[in-house]
Amino acid sequence: MTEQASFPLIDDLAPKFTAQTSHGVINFPEDYEGKWVILFSHPADFTPVCTTEFVAFAKRFDQFQNLNTELLGLSIDQVFSHIKWKDWIKDNLDVEIPFPIIADHGDVAKKYGMIHSGGSNTVRAVFVIDPKSKIRSIIYYPASLGRNFDELERIIKALQYSDEHKVAMPADWPNNTSLGLKDRVIIPPASDVKAAKERLALAEKDPDVECYDWWLCHKKA
């Protein structure tokens, strides 16, 4: 019988680990206290799709830093392989990889469910972890499909905005057009009759708030 991968779920605390990386030993999440983290795995060093992804991550590194977000890569490769691959990318593509890559022996990957279908390599997994070490988003990609980096940046921005303003984000935020909600955010639905009536009353008083009904209200971002 094939062993099934297990993994933490959204809103779980991120599993702790100590690991060797291309930047030295890290203790997670202690070393990233107060930071958002994108922890991501790739199948292997010196592979074409993974190389394009690492270049894309490197080119957005400053944007993620400006969002108080650290990048942390992982694969089941030795640290020497990570170092040589980073050197190859620098020498051949003129891109410096500025973030650490975990040299995993499988322990971290198993904790996060990054190995699927009885394989030995990690899949393309993404875990977005907030400053309280809580997992906020999980994405898996097949080996043949590279990640969408506009989406990864959007997830960070959306979660941070949602946390700060206690709102939800419509489809394709901030460019939603399906209900004419471009540059608008969703007010969380009321959970009881009293709150529902108050919600509709708020829409009558506040010009920034509009409601299709008591359960679907939105306002300017």
What is the set of active-site residues? 50
Residue 174, sorted as left (phi over 0), alpha (psi -120 to 50) or beta, turns out to be: alpha
| Residue 55 · residue 89 · CB < 8 Å | yes
Tokens of residue 87, six digits: 């050197």
Burial class of residue 59 in the structure, from the number of CB atoms within 10 Å of its CB (0-12 exposed, 13-18 middle, 19+ buried): exposed
Tokens of residue 26, six digits: 């890290």
CA atoms of 70 and 58, how far apart (whole Å): 11
Q: Which of 104, 98, 100 has the alpha carbon at shortest distance from 44?
A: 104
User: Within 13 Å of residue 112, how many CA atoms lie on the same side as its CB?
Assistant: 32
Provide the sign of the torsion angle of the four alpha carbons 170, 171, 177, 179, taken in this order: negative
Concatenating the DSSP letter of every residue in 94-130 gives -----S-EEE--SHHHHHTT---TT-SS--EEEEEE-
